[in-house]
Amino acid sequence: MAHDGDDDGVQITCFTDVSDDVTLHFQIIRLHKQIYAWIGCNSAKFGHLYAAAPTQPNNVVGVTSILGGASDNTGSSIARRLVLKTGLNIILACNIPKNSPMLEAGAEKKLVQKLISLGYTRPKSEGLSS
């Protein structure tokens, strides 16, 4: 098995955030060139599963639903924005209730703050284009 310096190994981070009587659970698994993230709302339910990745040559993000949901459901937008912030392939499982935009925004903010603190985001906030 070949190894590429700092990308070796799997890094797992779990944390919980409680605000406004809502408990959000997070798990981040950093793999080589990709991140798996799970957001659980008030339970350990897996929820819908999305895959998002940068596409060539247009530097846009493609998102697909792998399990449950559709490409316009809660979670797909978060997955798309995570690709833009990290430049990595993203697998996102999410069980945030539908039609909860404030909860979704809060969960995404907490997740992105953690990704930044772990050093998983791009240094520049220029999206996919350089």
Structure confidence by residue, pLDDT tens digits, 11-23: 999 999 998 889 9
pLDDT per position as a tens digit, 43-60: 888 889 999 999 887 778
pLDDT of residue 34: 95
CATH number, position 81: 3.30.230.90
Q: What is the number of structural domains in the chain? A: 1
The beta-strand segments (E) located in the chain are: 11-19, 22-31, 34-41, 48-55, 60-67, 89-94
How far apart are the C-alpha atoms of 45 and 58, rounded to whole Å? 35
Tell me what pLDDT residue 5 has.
43
Domain of 33, in residue numbers: 9-118
- Mean residue pLDDT of the chain comes to 85
Position 110 in a domain:
yes
End-to-end distance of the chain based on CA atoms, in angstroms?
Answer: 32
The answer as to whether 3 is a domain residue is no
Closest CA to 96 of 39, 33, 58, 50: 39
Structural domain contains residue 46: yes
Domain membership of residue 28 (yes or no) is yes
Query: Does 94 reside within a domain?
Result: yes
How many angstroms separate the CA atoms of 77 and 75, rounded? 5
Binned at pLDDT 50, 70 and 90, residue 116 comes out as: very high
pLDDT of residue 71: 55
Task: Inform me whether the pLDDT recorded for 40 exceeds 50.
Answer: yes
